[in-house]
Structure 1
Amino acid sequence: MCEHHSPEPTSRLSRRGLLRGGAVTLGLAVGGNVLMPGKAFAADYYHPFSGYPLTGTWQDHLDAGSLGGLDYGMSVGTPLRAAGAGTITNIPYNGTGGHTVTISHSNGYRTQYMHLSSFSLSNGAWIGMGGVVGLSGGQPGAPGSGSSTGPHVHWHMINPSGVRINPLDYLGGGGGGLPKTTTEEDGVPGPVMWMRTQNWLRIESGYTGPIDGVPGVNTYAALQRNMRDHWGYTGPIDGVPGTYTWMAVQRLAAAWGYTGPVDGVMGPNSWRGFARFINQDSWD
């Protein structure tokens, strides 16, 4: 069955959506990097690597004599997204850590990623939550890999006292909760709503891409699978949402307070109903 695609690109992130849809001020994104200064608070962090396998636990690092860290396996060249907004400091060839990027947050905490293959921003640049700070590395013997024995990123945080801490403990619940989306109030889809959507689809519908708030073919294909399995969607799983995909999303939204027509045209009220669903703690 061929799906009729809606002529209005309501599913795509608009510039307005990028600026308004999150629970934090992200600024104007250009190529995934945020250029406009904002302000970070303790709640304004998320787990940027939840879609990747954990290959080294915090305890693994302690047992090996490290101060602690989390390793996530990923291919060399994977974009590394900022867990929270802040100011960038790049440290090339940082001993065993190799190329290291530090994000200094406004609340005095710092986030560090190690074993990068390249940096994306210059020292002193501002990055918003979800912006790309560099590309992963870790290939043994490659420039910037440090002591890495295989492709991955090492992630840890440093508290205001200078003590290295487990990011998952900081984020709470051991899992790195995502902030709630303001789409529930303003009806404007944005990055945080899509991050939560991607995490929901990772849990329920086999999505394996990054939790980056930028929906693409893989996000939409997982959405279509979920709509097929639960909300009456009968179109193709092609990652190109159209009228029938959004009609199914509206049926989901109707279970969460949406009272408008099921016509496949997503407006503020449709998004509010969907956001009430996606703001459940289950998808944090």
Structure 2
Amino acid sequence: MGREHLPGCCGGGGEQPQAGLSRRTLLRGTALTTGALAVGGVFGLPGIAHAAPSIYNPFAGYAITGSWQDHLNSGSLGGIDFGMGVGTNLPACGAGTIQNIPNNGTGGHTVTIHHADGYRSQYMHLSQFLLANGAAVGAGAIVGRSGGAVGAPGSGSSTGPHLHWHMINPSGVRINPLTYIGQNPGGGLPKTSTEQDGIPGTIFYKRMQNWLRITS
């Protein structure tokens, strides 16, 4: 089972439209409001309320080869290991900004995603960084490629190909991302306008914003 030992490692019902407003004016207002909320939720602009970051599990299709408790039992501060081949694309579990940490002790090459409200996610034992420090990403964006092969650059103390994932709360304590998701449901990739429920999602509104920009 590929697992690193990380003792002491820092992980680092809606209202009706008012009479006299044109359809275009309504669309413009909706798009601008949606955009402002999205920016506030991701970057935490002052004056705009936002909840804890929306996180999803991009690795649900991979077997867990090391549980949270397995890590604690081995002296680690905690993490989840997912078995996957070297070079597997790693999607961001939520929106944020990127920090790359080469050779992060026993964790090897590490990507940190800084989310809203001081939360962070870390992927460890990477074989390749793909984005620059400070790059802004949305949920599902590819932030790096997995590694973990014994002795390979960036593998740290890994004993086999896998990805290690943990989160860090605003107090600097490692937390189980799967537990966090269970307690904060609603995360996932942005919806498109082709959702079965027929409700337009964020991609739809981004396209509408672009259309408004062009027509203006």
Instruction: Give yes or no for the alignment of 1:272 onto 2:192.
Output: no
Q: Say if 1:115 and 1:148 are closer, same or farther in 2 by CA, change over 3 A.
A: same
Match of 2:104 in 1: 94
The 8 Å contact of residues 43 and 179 in structure 1, kept in 2 or not, is answered as no
Match of 1:153 in 2: 163
Divergent runs of 4+, >3 A: 36-41, 176-183, 271-275
Aligned partner of residue 117 in structure 2, secondary structure: coil
Instruction: Give yes or no for the alignment of 1:61 onto 2:63.
Output: no
The 8 Å contact of residues 90 and 102 in structure 1, kept in 2 or not, is answered as yes
Match of 1:228 in 2: none
Aligned partner of residue 168 in structure 1, secondary structure: helix
Structure 1 stretches lacking a partner, 5+ long? 1-23, 26-35, 194-270, 276-284
Structure 2 stretches lacking a partner, 5+ long? 1-33, 43-50, 201-216
The 8 Å contact of residues 72 and 152 in structure 1, kept in 2 or not, is answered as yes
Q: Say if 1:101 and 1:140 are closer, same or farther in 2 by CA, change over 3 A.
A: same
Match of 1:241 in 2: none
Q: Say if 1:182 and 1:152 are closer, same or farther in 2 by CA, change over 3 A.
A: closer
The 8 Å contact of residues 54 and 70 in structure 1, kept in 2 or not, is answered as yes
Q: CA deviation at 1:101?
A: 0.5
CA distance in 1, matches of 2:145, 2:189: 27
CA distance in 1, matches of 2:178, 2:98: 21
Instruction: Pick one of 113, 121, 125 that aligns with 1:103.
Output: 113
Instruction: Pick one of 32, 38, 41 that aligns with 1:39.
Output: 41
Alignment of 1:102-181 (within 5 A): 102-172=112-182, 178-179=187-188
Q: CA deviation at 1:92?
A: 0.3
Instruction: Give yes or no for the alignment of 1:82 onto 2:7.
Output: no
The 8 Å contact of residues 38 and 128 in structure 1, kept in 2 or not, is answered as no
Q: CA deviation at 1:67?
A: 0.2
Q: CA deviation at 1:84?
A: 0.5
State the identity as a percent.
63
Residues 87-126 of structure 1 deviation map (CA, whole Å, 9 limit, x = unaligned): 1000000110000000001221000000000001011111
CA distance in 2, matches of 1:182, 1:120: 25
Cα RMSD (Å): 2.7
Aligned partner of residue 172 in structure 1, secondary structure: helix
The 8 Å contact of residues 118 and 135 in structure 1, kept in 2 or not, is answered as yes
Q: Residue type of the partner of 1:100?
A: T
Alignment of 1:187-266 (within 5 A): 188-189=193-194
CA distance in 1, matches of 2:190, 2:122: 26
The 8 Å contact of residues 38 and 85 in structure 1, kept in 2 or not, is answered as no
Residues 21-50 of structure 1 deviation map (CA, whole Å, 9 limit, x = unaligned): xxx98xxxxxxxxxx977335352100100
Q: Say if 1:274 and 1:104 are closer, same or farther in 2 by CA, change over 3 A.
A: closer
CA distance in 1, matches of 2:189, 2:131: 28
Residues 36-76 of structure 1 deviation map (CA, whole Å, 9 limit, x = unaligned): 97733535210010000000000000000000000000010
Q: TM-score, normalised to structure 1's length? A: 0.51
> Larger relative CO (CA 8 A, sep 6+): 1 or 2?
2
